[in-house]
Structure 1
Amino acid sequence: MALTTENKEVIIIKTQKKDVSYVIKSLLAGGVAGMCSKTTVAPLDRIKILLQAHNKHYARFGVFSGLAEIVKRESFVALYKGNGAQMVRVFPYAAIQFTSFEFYKTLSSSLLGNGSHFGKFIAGSSAGVTAVTLTYPLDTIRARLAFQVTGEHVYNGIIHTAKSIVQNEGGILALYRGFVPTLCGMVPYAGITFFCFETIKKFFLKTFPVLFSKQSSKDSGGVVLTVPAKLVCGGLSGAFAQCVSYPLDVTRRRMQLAKMDPSNGKYGYGMIKTLVTVYQNDGIVNGLYRGMSINFLRAVPMVAVSFSTYELMKQYLELDTGIDS
């Protein structure tokens, strides 16, 4: 029976509402996942920033001794300094990243085929670039706040930090200092992370279905990864990605903090010059990969919690069809 014009309009309206609902739920799932993961590793994030930029109070410490020194010198709450700005940034960042990944993955599947490994890498990279472009100023603000030591505060909050940077360091573009190395690092980092997660997830489901999967609670009859399996997939994905992109993360931090700390002033003149200066002054291990041990300690649980929470939220919000592919 042919559909009337009125029936077609009703179908279109229902489809549009469903699409809007899906996007909102997807943004919520991604945002919650990002907040949970970043809060989990917030103390490690702060000591990483302090060590990366050679803060004079913490330069001689290691990871755990540095954390203990923060508590001793400042307070336990100081372990989470900058986390407020991080939460303001990470909810839209993670929401955009995960939601756009689903969009790019669907798009790449239609263009390159559902099983394309290159398509998954491109989808992950595109999602990372989209998210970081829209939220980067908040990352700069958060780094400035986290770098401060109690008693030597330059900034007293998110708004004050943003206003000070814009007014004193050259306008809005100052909030994007370090953006180029971030983009250069984001392409391999996000691409490898999403690619590895999707690939390892598929491998676990096909090779060890009894050990790593369970029946979906949905009516589709499909299977999904267990929570421990999701943590393993996320952790391995984060570890692989960090090895490739870490020197650019160090470069970004040096450029972000160049105008705040006189000892970092020489690092604010472009990505290549900053990379070369870090290498010449501090070498590879103590320069380009300084804080890498912390990054492994934080990246593995961070990515594990992020992907696990996102997958669980998808199932809870009925975004998951029950078939992990």
Structure 2
Amino acid sequence: MSTVISVNEKGAIKRDSMEYIVRSGIAGGISGSCAKSLIAPLDRIKILFQTSNPHYAKYSGSLHGLVKAAKHIWTQDGVLGLFQGHSITLARIFPYAAMKFVAYEQIRSILIPSKQYETHWRRMMSGSLSGLCSVFITYPLDLIRVRLAYVTEHHHVKVRFVIKQIYHEPASTTLLSKGYIPTWFAHWCNFYRGYTPSVLGMIPYAGVSFFAHDFLHDIFKLPYLRPYSVVPLSAEQDKERRKKRQKLPLRTWAELISGGLAGIASQTAAYPFEIIRRRLQVSSLSTRNMYSHKFETIPQIARIIYKERGWRGFFVGLSIGYIKVTPMVACSFFVYERMKWYLGI
């Protein structure tokens, strides 16, 4: 059975207009929320593995361990334990995904104003810059989410408690010791602990993700694949599509494959930075730092990881990452592209 997609009768909406920005933001926010809800249990287990939580370290390194960890959480905390910290995830992911897709559309229109400018590096640059914009705005919420997922004692699992804990931790910035910034601002900087590797990881992650997705779209729209991969449109629907300057919509299976493969490629490229970021985010909770008030730098964290497990330590939980990221990115791009179509952009 062929997919049927309806169109409205309005003309094209200018890409730089507020109406386009709002609509693309809504489409992006909804797509991100759907994708994160789909893989929330895997996300929590992955964080526990990445941060070497002492209660779950014995399960890391295999898919069998993933199942055991899920059973352990289910036994200890019930089904809600698998979604611990998810409310913060949703509060973060809607503005994050909205900003990411809005920024991508706007930056892409600047770097690629017409077809003749459509090159691989411009696509990758558009994705990387959009990722940087979104991560800067929503990073504090991501840090709170990771802390909530890391804590295993129920009486400590409260958003207010975690926020106070982060704020009152010794400020890790050197600008405070030199008197360049006030104390209160330095403590607010605690909410950006691990931000640098996030930025470094976002460059390949978002860049590769958007590039791979668009590249696979091009492949599926080649003449010999188009009859099978593109949604058939009537003459009237195609006329409306051209009028609105909308892309040809892919069939469900093709869109999901494009998103899934894009997720695998981006996860592989950025995973070592994600490992370092997670360790930095919970470094103040470790015994050696809790009383010494010392905070590891990125090179120190990297050396610790390498000393513990060698180069494989930078890819701990990657198999779970693939299981998580493939449906997540596939769902995200699928919902976003469909929402764009229904919203007429």
Specify the TM-score bucket, using the shorter chain as the normaliser: 0.7 to 0.9
Q: In the TM superposition, what is the alpha-carbon distance from 1:191 to its structure 2 partner?
A: 0.3
| CA–CA separation in structure 1 for the residues paired with 2:31 and 2:258 | 15
Segments of 4+ in structure 1 off by > 4 A? 15-18, 263-267
Which SS does the other structure have where 1:225 is aligned? Answer: coil
Aligned partner of 1:27: which letter? G
Percent identity between the aligned chains?
A: 32
Q: In the TM superposition, what is the alpha-carbon distance from 1:70 to its structure 2 partner?
A: 0.8
Which SS does the other structure have where 1:318 is aligned? Answer: coil
Query: Is 1:311 matched up with 2:337?
Result: yes
In structure 2, the CA distance between the partners of 1:55 and 1:314, relative to structure 1 (3 Å rule), is: same
Match for residue 228 of structure 2?
A: 211
Aligned partner of 1:77: which letter? L
| CA–CA separation in structure 2 for the residues paired with 1:215 and 1:155 | 50
Match for residue 220 of structure 1?
A: 241
| CA–CA separation in structure 1 for the residues paired with 2:34 and 2:344 | 20
Match for residue 26 of structure 2?
A: 28
2:300 to 273, 276, 281: 273
Q: Which of 308-317 and 222-231 deviates more?
A: 222-231
In structure 2, the CA distance between the partners of 1:29 and 1:118, relative to structure 1 (3 Å rule), is: same
Unaligned runs of 5+ in 2: 1-12, 60-64, 172-186
Output aligned runs, 1:1-325, within 5 Å. 19-61=17-59, 62-110=65-113, 113-151=116-154, 153-157=155-159, 159-170=160-171, 171-206=187-222, 207-216=224-233, 217=237, 219-220=240-241, 223-262=248-287, 268-285=295-312, 287-319=313-345
Aligned partner of 2:339: which letter? M
Q: In the TM superposition, what is the alpha-carbon distance from 1:126 to its structure 2 partner?
A: 0.3
Unaligned runs of 5+ in 1: 1-14, 320-325
Q: In the TM superposition, what is the alpha-carbon distance from 1:263 to its structure 2 partner?
A: 6.3
Aligned partner of 2:92: which letter? R
| CA–CA separation in structure 1 for the residues paired with 2:333 and 2:84 | 24
Q: Which of 159-168 and 199-208 deviates more?
A: 159-168
Alpha carbons 1:254, 1:268 under 8 Å: kept: no
Alpha carbons 1:144, 1:260 under 8 Å: kept: no
Aligned partner of 2:42: which letter? L
In structure 2, the CA distance between the partners of 1:314 and 1:16, relative to structure 1 (3 Å rule), is: closer
Relative to the length of structure 1, the TM-score reads 0.87
Q: In the TM superposition, what is the alpha-carbon distance from 1:40 to its structure 2 partner?
A: 0.5
Q: In the TM superposition, what is the alpha-carbon distance from 1:229 to its structure 2 partner?
A: 0.9
Alpha carbons 2:143, 2:191 under 8 Å: kept: yes
Which SS does the other structure have where 1:215 is aligned? Answer: coil
| CA–CA separation in structure 1 for the residues paired with 2:114 and 2:232 | 31
| CA–CA separation in structure 1 for the residues paired with 2:118 and 2:16 | 27
Relative to the length of structure 2, the TM-score reads 0.83
Alpha carbons 1:53, 1:264 under 8 Å: kept: no
Q: In the TM superposition, what is the alpha-carbon distance from 1:220 to its structure 2 partner?
A: 2.7
| CA–CA separation in structure 2 for the residues paired with 1:142 and 1:194 | 25
Match for residue 182 of structure 2?
A: none
Q: In the TM superposition, what is the alpha-carbon distance from 1:30 to its structure 2 partner?
A: 0.3
Aligned residues: 302
Alpha carbons 1:254, 1:264 under 8 Å: kept: no
Write out per-residue CA displacement over residues 17-59 of structure 1, whole angstroms, 9 at most, x where no aligned residue. Answer: 9921111111110000000001100000000011111112111
| CA–CA separation in structure 1 for the residues paired with 2:263 and 2:15 | 35
| CA–CA separation in structure 1 for the residues paired with 2:161 and 2:152 | 17
Over the aligned positions, Cα root-mean-square deviation in angstroms equals 2.2
In structure 2, the CA distance between the partners of 1:232 and 1:268, relative to structure 1 (3 Å rule), is: farther
Aligned partner of 1:315: which letter? W
Write out per-residue CA displacement over residues 183-222 of structure 1, whole angstroms, 9 at most, x where no aligned residue. Answer: 0010011100000000001111114101111135462367
